Amino acid sequence: DTGVSQDPRHKITKRGQNVTFRCDPISEHNRLYWYRQTLGQGPEFLTYFQNEAQLEKSRLLSDRFSAERPKGSFSTLEIQRTEQGDSAMYLCASSSSGGSRGLKTQYFGPGTRLLVL
Amino acid sequence: GQSLEQPSEVTAVEGAIVQINCTYQTSGFYGLSWYQQHDGGAPTFLSYNALDGLEETGRFSSFLSRSDSYGYLLLQELQMKDSASYFCAVSAGTDKLIFGTGTRLQVFP
């Protein structure tokens, strides 16, 4: 199975620490997305890459958050100086740019669950 | 602003049919998707409607009315494994998805 993978699956950290998550998309997909999901809510868009270019960032993404996709393959999401409000599930998804306009099915990874103490 | 509204919870028994509605208000619209998410799992794509009408995929069907900014997911012959959260999501002119708050479906024997 060559689906989207994320690492780590769980992360517990203390407030003020930095954390980094990794996402490996489906290999032939050139688009990669990061979402955040809190309990009882739908995923919220954070940012999106086409190949190595970061094309859109949500206003939710404060300056403590940074994402990279240096070679257009895997991506990392770093949170600096974590706060308790950052506790959430961080989901990565990938898609291809082919298909009819607007139909770019996003395939989600299992997520990284972050708990900030 | 952009918003999607879904019922928070729906219950049904095995073998029944259930409909989950979604109304949306977004700036720009390309299509409506539906995702299923089991507790602790990742969202899984179910269906997509860009044009008005009904799309059928096995036991699941999805409907869209662009003029009414409304869609629904229809689940037939419910099984216990269908117990999950279901999200509608709008593609609104960029490639990101805007998700609703989700509908928790509980299927009872």
Per-residue pLDDT tens for A35-69? 999 998 999 999 999 999 999 899 878 899 999 99
How deeply is A57 buried, as exposed, middle or buried, from its count of CB atoms within 10 A (0-12, 13-18, 19+)?
middle
Q: What is the 3-state secondary structure (H, E, C) of B65-79?
A: ECCCCEEEEEECCCC
**pLDDT for the residue A74:** 96
How deeply is B36 buried, as exposed, middle or buried, from its count of CB atoms within 10 A (0-12, 13-18, 19+)?
buried
- pLDDT digit string (tens) for chain B, length 109 residues: 688 999 999 999 999 999 999 999 988 888 999 999 999 899 999 999 999 999 998 999 999 999 999 999 999 999 999 999 999 999 877 778 999 999 999 999 9
Q: CA Rg, chain A, in Å?
A: 14
**Contact between B97 and A110 using a beta-carbon 8 Å cutoff:** no
Q: What is the mean pLDDT of chain A?
A: 91
Per-residue pLDDT tens for A85-106? 999 999 999 998 765 544 568 9
Residue B101: HSE in the Cβ half-sphere, 13 Å Cα cutoff: 9
- Pairing of the two strands A53-57 and A88-95: unpaired
For residue A113, the chain B residue with the least C-alpha distance is B40
**Contact between B96 and A111 using a beta-carbon 8 Å cutoff:** no
**pLDDT for the residue B30:** 86
Nearest to B38 by CA among B87, B109, B98, B89: B87
Query: Measured between CB atoms, which of B30, B42, B98 is closest to A102?
Result: B30
**pLDDT for the residue A99:** 59
The whole-angstrom separation of Cα A44 and Cα A91 is: 9
A-chain residues near B95 (CB < 8 A): 31, 33, 48, 50, 55-56, 95, 104
